[in-house]
Amino acid sequence: MLGLPQTTEVKRPLPKAQLFKRFDWTPSQRERFDGEVSRLDFVNWISPRTVPAITAGNEVKEIFIVEVSLKSRDFDTKAITLLAKNIPQRIVYMLHYEEEAILATYHAKLFTAPWRAVEDIALPLTGLNLDAVWENIVSSIGQFSVEKDRSLSGQIKVDEERAKLERQIAALERQMNATRQPRRKRELFMELQKIKQHYNGKTENEKS
Protein backbone atom coordinates (compact mmCIF):
# COMPACT_ATOMS: atom_id res chain seq x y z
CA MET A 1 0.00 0.00 0.00
CA LEU A 2 1.19 3.53 -0.91
CA GLY A 3 4.32 2.05 -2.46
CA LEU A 4 5.84 1.45 0.98
CA PRO A 5 8.20 -1.48 1.64
CA GLN A 6 6.46 -4.75 2.43
CA THR A 7 8.40 -4.89 5.70
CA THR A 8 6.30 -1.95 6.98
CA GLU A 9 2.96 -3.65 6.43
CA VAL A 10 0.77 -4.44 9.42
CA LYS A 11 -2.94 -5.05 9.73
CA ARG A 12 -4.35 -4.13 13.07
CA PRO A 13 -7.88 -2.86 13.53
CA LEU A 14 -8.51 0.25 15.57
CA PRO A 15 -12.07 -0.21 16.86
CA LYS A 16 -14.15 2.93 17.17
CA ALA A 17 -15.57 1.68 20.47
CA GLN A 18 -12.03 1.58 21.84
CA LEU A 19 -11.45 5.19 20.80
CA PHE A 20 -14.70 6.34 22.36
CA LYS A 21 -13.76 4.62 25.61
CA ARG A 22 -10.21 5.97 25.62
CA PHE A 23 -10.91 9.60 24.72
CA ASP A 24 -13.09 12.02 26.61
CA TRP A 25 -15.26 12.97 23.65
CA THR A 26 -18.67 14.53 24.01
CA PRO A 27 -21.72 12.59 22.76
CA SER A 28 -21.97 14.95 19.76
CA GLN A 29 -18.29 14.37 18.88
CA ARG A 30 -18.73 10.61 19.07
CA GLU A 31 -21.87 10.84 16.96
CA ARG A 32 -20.12 12.98 14.33
CA PHE A 33 -17.14 10.63 14.15
CA ASP A 34 -19.33 7.53 13.96
CA GLY A 35 -21.36 9.16 11.21
CA GLU A 36 -18.26 9.90 9.14
CA VAL A 37 -16.09 6.80 9.66
CA SER A 38 -17.00 3.15 9.14
CA ARG A 39 -13.68 1.59 10.30
CA LEU A 40 -10.02 2.26 11.00
CA ASP A 41 -6.95 0.04 10.60
CA PHE A 42 -3.24 0.46 11.26
CA VAL A 43 -1.74 -0.64 7.94
CA ASN A 44 1.93 0.46 7.99
CA TRP A 45 4.60 1.04 10.62
CA ILE A 46 7.67 2.99 9.52
CA SER A 47 10.65 2.74 11.85
CA PRO A 48 14.35 1.78 11.74
CA ARG A 49 13.19 -1.74 12.53
CA THR A 50 10.98 -1.98 9.42
CA VAL A 51 13.10 0.27 7.15
CA PRO A 52 16.75 -0.23 8.25
CA ALA A 53 18.05 2.36 5.76
CA ILE A 54 16.31 5.12 7.76
CA THR A 55 17.53 5.99 11.24
CA ALA A 56 15.47 7.38 14.12
CA GLY A 57 15.31 11.16 14.33
CA ASN A 58 15.80 13.36 17.37
CA GLU A 59 12.04 13.86 17.61
CA VAL A 60 10.44 11.27 15.34
CA LYS A 61 11.06 7.63 16.22
CA GLU A 62 8.28 6.01 14.19
CA ILE A 63 5.49 6.87 11.76
CA PHE A 64 2.20 5.04 11.39
CA ILE A 65 -0.22 4.83 8.48
CA VAL A 66 -3.88 4.51 9.40
CA GLU A 67 -6.47 3.63 6.77
CA VAL A 68 -9.80 5.31 7.46
CA SER A 69 -12.81 3.94 5.61
CA LEU A 70 -15.26 6.79 5.12
CA LYS A 71 -19.02 6.57 4.81
CA SER A 72 -19.09 9.51 2.40
CA ARG A 73 -16.66 11.33 0.13
CA ASP A 74 -17.92 14.62 1.56
CA PHE A 75 -16.56 14.02 5.04
CA ASP A 76 -16.15 16.61 7.78
CA THR A 77 -12.46 17.23 8.47
CA LYS A 78 -13.34 18.04 12.10
CA ALA A 79 -13.75 14.32 12.77
CA ILE A 80 -10.20 13.53 11.58
CA THR A 81 -8.77 16.57 13.34
CA LEU A 82 -10.40 15.40 16.56
CA LEU A 83 -8.84 11.96 16.16
CA ALA A 84 -5.40 13.32 15.28
CA LYS A 85 -5.32 15.68 18.26
CA ASN A 86 -5.98 12.79 20.63
CA ILE A 87 -3.28 10.44 19.30
CA PRO A 88 0.27 11.72 20.00
CA GLN A 89 2.05 9.55 17.42
CA ARG A 90 3.12 10.77 13.97
CA ILE A 91 0.38 9.39 11.74
CA VAL A 92 -0.55 9.64 8.07
CA TYR A 93 -4.24 8.99 7.47
CA MET A 94 -5.35 7.42 4.22
CA LEU A 95 -8.99 8.48 3.97
CA HIS A 96 -10.62 5.96 1.70
CA TYR A 97 -14.00 6.04 -0.02
CA GLU A 98 -14.82 3.49 -2.74
CA GLU A 99 -11.98 3.64 -5.31
CA GLU A 100 -10.57 7.02 -4.26
CA ALA A 101 -8.62 8.31 -1.29
CA ILE A 102 -6.77 11.29 0.10
CA LEU A 103 -3.82 11.48 2.44
CA ALA A 104 -4.08 13.62 5.57
CA THR A 105 -1.80 14.33 8.49
CA TYR A 106 -1.72 16.60 11.50
CA HIS A 107 1.21 18.79 12.50
CA ALA A 108 0.05 21.96 14.28
CA LYS A 109 -2.99 21.73 12.00
CA LEU A 110 -4.61 19.27 9.61
CA PHE A 111 -3.17 19.01 6.10
CA THR A 112 -4.93 17.13 3.31
CA ALA A 113 -3.89 16.22 -0.22
CA PRO A 114 -6.24 16.13 -3.23
CA TRP A 115 -8.48 13.13 -3.93
CA ARG A 116 -6.89 10.55 -6.24
CA ALA A 117 -7.48 7.00 -7.37
CA VAL A 118 -6.21 4.63 -4.68
CA GLU A 119 -3.74 2.90 -6.98
CA ASP A 120 -2.18 6.28 -7.92
CA ILE A 121 -1.35 7.33 -4.37
CA ALA A 122 2.22 6.84 -3.15
CA LEU A 123 4.08 7.98 -0.07
CA PRO A 124 7.82 8.28 -0.80
CA LEU A 125 10.15 7.96 2.19
CA THR A 126 12.60 10.80 1.52
CA GLY A 127 15.29 11.54 4.08
CA LEU A 128 18.09 9.83 5.99
CA ASN A 129 16.29 9.93 9.34
CA LEU A 130 12.68 9.98 10.46
CA ASP A 131 12.73 13.70 11.33
CA ALA A 132 13.50 14.45 7.67
CA VAL A 133 11.06 11.81 6.42
CA TRP A 134 8.25 13.29 8.52
CA GLU A 135 9.04 16.84 7.39
CA ASN A 136 8.92 15.74 3.75
CA ILE A 137 5.67 13.82 4.27
CA VAL A 138 3.90 16.77 5.91
CA SER A 139 5.14 19.33 3.36
CA SER A 140 4.23 17.00 0.49
CA ILE A 141 0.69 16.41 1.75
CA GLY A 142 0.28 20.10 2.64
CA GLN A 143 1.82 21.16 -0.68
CA PHE A 144 4.30 23.64 0.76
CA SER A 145 8.08 23.78 1.14
CA VAL A 146 10.19 24.28 4.22
CA GLU A 147 12.63 27.14 3.69
CA LYS A 148 16.31 26.82 4.54
CA ASP A 149 17.22 27.17 8.24
CA ARG A 150 13.58 26.90 9.28
CA SER A 151 11.91 24.07 11.17
CA LEU A 152 8.73 22.39 10.01
CA SER A 153 6.71 23.92 12.86
CA GLY A 154 8.33 27.31 12.24
CA GLN A 155 7.45 27.18 8.54
CA ILE A 156 3.83 26.29 9.31
CA LYS A 157 3.59 29.22 11.75
CA VAL A 158 5.08 31.66 9.21
CA ASP A 159 2.75 30.42 6.46
CA GLU A 160 -0.26 30.78 8.79
CA GLU A 161 0.70 34.36 9.68
CA ARG A 162 1.24 35.20 6.01
CA ALA A 163 -2.13 33.70 5.05
CA LYS A 164 -3.85 35.62 7.86
CA LEU A 165 -2.42 38.91 6.61
CA GLU A 166 -3.46 38.06 3.05
CA ARG A 167 -7.03 37.41 4.24
CA GLN A 168 -7.05 40.74 6.10
CA ILE A 169 -5.79 42.58 3.01
CA ALA A 170 -8.43 40.95 0.79
CA ALA A 171 -11.21 41.77 3.30
CA LEU A 172 -10.15 45.43 3.56
CA GLU A 173 -9.96 45.75 -0.22
CA ARG A 174 -13.51 44.41 -0.50
CA GLN A 175 -14.70 46.87 2.15
CA MET A 176 -12.99 49.76 0.34
CA ASN A 177 -14.64 48.84 -2.94
CA ALA A 178 -18.05 48.62 -1.28
CA THR A 179 -17.76 51.85 0.75
CA ARG A 180 -19.11 55.09 -0.72
CA GLN A 181 -18.29 57.42 2.18
CA PRO A 182 -14.98 59.23 1.46
CA ARG A 183 -14.01 59.41 5.13
CA ARG A 184 -14.58 55.70 5.74
CA LYS A 185 -12.80 54.83 2.48
CA ARG A 186 -9.82 56.89 3.61
CA GLU A 187 -9.75 55.12 7.00
CA LEU A 188 -9.84 51.74 5.30
CA PHE A 189 -7.09 52.82 2.91
CA MET A 190 -4.82 53.83 5.79
CA GLU A 191 -5.49 50.55 7.59
CA LEU A 192 -4.86 48.63 4.39
CA GLN A 193 -1.52 50.38 3.82
CA LYS A 194 -0.45 49.62 7.38
CA ILE A 195 -1.19 45.90 6.98
CA LYS A 196 0.49 45.80 3.56
CA GLN A 197 3.63 47.38 5.02
CA HIS A 198 3.64 44.77 7.78
CA TYR A 199 3.11 41.99 5.23
CA ASN A 200 5.86 43.27 2.91
CA GLY A 201 8.21 43.72 5.87
CA LYS A 202 7.67 40.14 7.02
CA THR A 203 8.18 38.85 3.48
CA GLU A 204 11.46 40.75 3.09
CA ASN A 205 12.69 39.55 6.49
CA GLU A 206 11.94 35.96 5.51
CA LYS A 207 13.95 36.33 2.32
CA SER A 208 16.99 37.85 4.07
pLDDT higher than threshold 80 for residue 207: no
| Non-local CB neighbours of 179 within 8 Å, separated by 6+ positions | 185, 188
Q: Give the model's confidence band at 66: pLDDT under 50 very low, under 70 low, under 90 confident, else very high.
A: very high
Q: Give the model's confidence band at 71: pLDDT under 50 very low, under 70 low, under 90 confident, else very high.
A: very high
Helix/strand/coil for 149: coil
Burial string for 166-192 (b: 16+ CB within 10 Å, else e) reads: eebbeebeeebeeeeeeeeeeebeeeb
Helix/strand/coil for 95: strand
Count other Cβ atoms within 10 Å, centred on residue 54. Answer: 19
pLDDT tens digit string along 73-89?
988 888 889 899 888 89
- Please state the rounded mean pLDDT for residues 17-29: 89
Task: Supply the pLDDT for residue 189.
Answer: 86
pLDDT higher than threshold 80 for residue 204: no
pLDDT tens digit string along 134-168?
999 999 999 888 888 888 888 888 888 888 888 88
pLDDT tens digit string along 91-122?
999 999 999 999 999 999 999 999 999 999 99
> Domain coordinates of the chain in residue numbers?
6-142, 152-207
- Please state the rounded mean pLDDT for residues 31-41: 92
Across the chain, mean pLDDT equals: 89
